[in-house]
Every structure is written in structure tokens, then in C-alpha cells.
């Protein structure tokens, strides 16, 4: 429930620009899982730390609204934007130090600051959402992080300019992603994900495409090999933004379809890249009718289960389903610990035989069942492979065996679920 330390009456809320901030802890799920019953006590202590530190910097006419667990919208009418940034960074460092002292491996606090307008007559109950919306559309973002990975107990501030263009029309956001990948000589498109038993597709995966005919699905990180890690992550965030934009198009059309995109395991294993991506993900809004399928691509052999489970927990947010795509399917480990993903799968290698396909599919389904998840296979190229996957109880598949249809995301949203008959016309 939202709480307010101070809320003015309607007549006292002035319609002029004032400094405001949203400040919150990123990736609470792994912290809560690690601490178990102790989390309630720690979160209350951190809430009091936020409350005390913010109140000390606020004036008598300022607002403090709890948006969610350890997430707040606040105003600082007596401070400049530069001073507001400094206050938020100071508060973030205090919170990081407090949580780091609890032996948690990684802690991040995000703040986003902007000048906001609170129109006269704004209802107190709507203040938090109003402030948050204005901040996310045009604020300056800072993430303060403390991690054992850095080998230092000193919190590090990572200043991140606002990356997602949520205020732009959805079509323009999708066009922007097309333009970025075109500059690399690549295409992007929304590929139907087929449910094998039902023969329909109620999910689309946003993929990068290469090859002479421009229809070969490729991992974005592999496609951009040779460019900097920063540029690769920027491209992955653009894919996320385009997926978010298409989800909005589908939602606005009162249709139901899951929208997918990918983030490489390698990107998530780079500390600053992970923070940038999680921060971008925090800004995206997906509904229950248009959830995000976020696939962690190219998980290598030997990747520690504990590390993979931690990454999945960090990415777990409302209306987001996490998928794990293994780099190699031939040697899937047995008896894995519980990872927390909704689906497990991979890509069939070119030239794989039917016998090998059956072995891979059966191992994959066994893993998925043990994880209480579903199995998926990409690049199912022949009817024989499709039948093998079907008999093994693989739930979802993509590839030439079904349909070559790739949507640009710019055309009118089709009726869902898609059918093979519709896609072949």
C-alpha cells in the first residue's frame, strides 16, 4: 500500500516544475531468496533508512510515496536537480553499504531524477504514478552498485543516460531497432513460435536475421562479433525496446500474444552490462495478455547452476517469463539444481540426424520436466524433426518445418493465434 509522510491538500499542490526522483533497489528476488525469513526484518530496516535519509533532505511541502517494496517516488522542491542527484547517490550508497554488510554478493540502487510538474488538483493517491511516469520518460539515471565481483567494498556509481524511448510512438521505436541492425547489414523480425500439439502460434520471438537471403536466425552477440561489448549490449537493449513497443501495439489492439527477445549469457556475466540491461528491463511494462519471453542465449557447457539461477532471479519481474537456451544440447547435465526458468531449449545443429534429434529431444524434455518447465527447440528444419520433437513432448518449436513467415512488427497486428494455413498464404 502506498504511504505518504507528507501530502498537501489539493489547493496546495502547485503546477510548477520541481525536482523529483524515483529511487529503488534493483533485483530484490535473489536477496529475498537468500535471506528467507530474515528478509522481512532487513527490508524494514532498509525502508527506515530510506525514510530517514530522504526526510532529512526534503522540505515541509515535499512528498514521499512508496511505489512498491523498497521503491519510492519523492520530491525535493528546495533543491536543484544537481543537488537532488547528489542526495539520491548518497542515499543509494548508504543502502548499498547496509545491504552489503548483510553478506549479500551484489547490491544495486537505481535513482532517476528530473524536473516534474504536479498539476493543481492532483489527487494524493495519484501522485506516485504521476511522478514515476514523468521521471521514466525523461529523467537522468544513476545506478549505484556494490559487488564482491569488483573486489572492493566501495559502492560504484554507474551513470546511465536514459536508454529506452518509451515516450516515442511504438512504430517509431520498432523502426529505430530496424535501422540499428540494418547499419550492421542485418535484419530483425518477429518469428512465430509454434506450439507443436496445437499447431498454432500465440508467441512471437524478436530475432536477428542474416545470410544471403536475410532469413537465417542468428544470435545478436554472434552477429556483432568484432564490435565492442558496449555496442552489443546497446543492440540487445534496442531489441528489448522493440519487443516492448510491439507488446504495446498488441495490447492496444486488445489481442493476446507473448512477445520474446534475447539477452546473451555472456552479456549478463559482464557486471556493468548486466546492470545496464536490468535497469532497462525495469522500465519496460508488459501485461498479463502480452508477457515478455526473455531468453538467455548461448548458455555454455559448464556454466554453474548457482550462477545461472542467480541471473534468472535478477531478471525475474512481473509478466516476464525466463527461458534458457543452451549452446550445446548433446551433453545436457543431469540432476541440475532448481534454476527457476519457465522453459529450457536450444537450437538443433545443421545436419543433425533423426536418431541424434530424438536423443537430444528426449534429454531436453527430461530436463524440463525435472525443472517443472517446458521444452523448446529452434531451427526444426524438416517434417521428420518436427514429428520427433512432437513425440518427445517438446512443447514449442521454430524453423523452416513450420512456416517461413517473419513479421516486421510494422504491419497491422495479425489475429492471434496464428495458424500454419494463414502463414502459408
Instruction: List the domain boundaries for the chain.
Output: 10-160, 170-423
- Phi/psi for 420 (5° steps) reads -65, -35
Is the confidence at residue 225, as pLDDT, over 80? yes
Burial category of 247 from C-beta neighbours within 10 Å (exposed 0-12, middle 13-18, buried 19 and up):
buried
State pLDDT tens for residues 64-73.
Answer: 888 888 889 9
Percentage with pLDDT > 90 across the chain: 42
**CA quadruple 305, 311, 315, 317: dihedral sign:** positive
Contacts of 196 (CB under 8 A, 6+ apart): 386, 389, 390, 394, 395, 396, 397
- The three cell numbers locating residue 58: 526534503
- Bridge partners of residue 344, in order along the sequence: 324, 375
Q: Which fold has domain 170-423?
A: TIM Barrel (3.20.20)
| Low-confidence winner among 115-119, 142-146, 188-192 (lowest mean pLDDT) | 142-146
What pLDDT digit, counting tens, does each position of 264-292 carry? 999 999 877 888 888 888 888 899 999 99
For the domain made up of 10-160, the CATH class stated in words is alpha beta
Model's pTM, two decimal places? Answer: 0.74
Place of cell 534475447: 262
Amino acid at each position: 500500500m502506498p504511504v505518504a509522510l507528507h501530502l498537501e491538500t489539493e489547493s496546495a499542490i502547485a503546477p510548477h516544475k520541481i525536482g523529483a526522483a524515483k529511487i529503488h533497489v534493483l533485483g530484490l528476488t535473489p536477496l529475498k531468496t537468500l535471506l528467507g525469513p530474515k528478509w522481512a526484518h532487513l527490508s524494514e530496516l532498509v525502508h527506515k533508512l530510506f525514510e530517514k535519509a530522504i526526510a532529512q533532505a526534503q522540505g515541509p511541502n515535499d512528498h514521499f510515496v512508496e511505489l512498491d517494496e523498497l521503491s519510492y517516488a519523492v520530491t525535493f522542491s528546495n533543491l536543484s536537480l544537481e543537488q537532488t542527484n547528489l542526495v539520491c547517490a548518497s542515499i543509494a550508497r548508504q543502502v548499498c553499504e547496509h545491504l552489503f554488510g548483510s553478506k549479500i554478493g551484489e547490491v544495486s540502487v537505481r535513482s532517476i531524477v528530473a524536473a516534474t510538474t504536479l498539476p493543481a488538483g492532483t489527487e494524493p493517491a495519484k501522485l506516485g504514478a504521476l511522478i514515476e511516469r514523468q521521471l521514466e520518460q525523461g529523467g537522468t539515471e544513476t545506478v549505484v552498485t556494490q559487488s564482491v565481483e569488483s573486489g572492493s567494498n566501495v559502492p560504484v556509481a554507474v551513470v546511465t543516460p536514459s536508454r529506452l524511448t518509451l515516450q516515442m510512438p511504438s512504430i517509431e521505436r520498432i523502426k529505430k531497432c530496424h535501422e540499428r541492425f540494418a547499419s550492421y547489414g542485418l535484419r530483425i523480425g518477429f518469428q512465430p513460435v509454434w506450439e507443436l500439439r496445437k499447431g498454432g502460434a500465440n508467441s512471437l520471438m524478436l530475432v536477428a536475421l542474416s545470410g544471403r537471403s536475410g532469413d537465417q536466425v542468428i544470435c545478436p552477440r554472434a552477429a556483432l562479433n568484432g564490435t565492442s561489448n558496449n555496442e552489443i549490449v546497446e543492440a540487445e537493449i534496442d531489441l528489448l525496446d522493440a519487443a516492448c513497443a510491439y507488446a504495446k501495439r498488441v495490447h492496444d489492439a486488445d489481442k493476446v500474444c507473448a512477445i520474446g527477445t534475447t539477452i546473451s549469457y555472456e552479456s549478463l556475466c559482464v557486471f556493468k552490462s548486466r546492470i545496464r540491461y536490468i535497469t532497462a528491463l525495469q522500465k519496460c511494462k508488459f501485461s498479463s495478455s502480452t508477457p515478455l519471453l526473455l531468453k538467455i542465449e548461448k548458455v555454455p557447457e559448464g556454466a554453474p547452476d548457482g550462477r545461472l539461477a542467480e541471473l534468472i532471479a535478477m531478471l525475474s519481474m512481473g509478466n516476464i517469463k525466463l527461458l534458457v537456451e543452451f549452446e550445446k544440447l548433446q551433453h545436457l547435465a543431469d540432476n541440475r539444481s532448481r534454476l527457476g526458468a519457465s522453459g529450457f531449449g536450444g537450437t538443433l545443429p545443421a545436419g543433425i540426424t533423426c536418431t541424434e534429434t530424438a536423443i537430444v529431444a528426449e534429454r531436453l524434455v527430461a530436463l524440463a520436466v525435472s525443472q517443472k518447465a517446458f521444452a523448446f527447440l529452434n531451427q526444426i528444419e524438416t517434417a521428420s524433426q518436427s514429428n520427433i520433437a512432437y513425440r518427445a513432448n517438446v512443447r514449442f518449436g521454430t524453423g523452416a518445418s513450420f512456416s517461413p513467415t517473419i513479421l516486421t512488427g510494422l504491419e497491422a497486428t495479425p489475429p492471434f493465434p496464428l495458424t500454419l494455413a494463414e502463414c502459408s498464404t
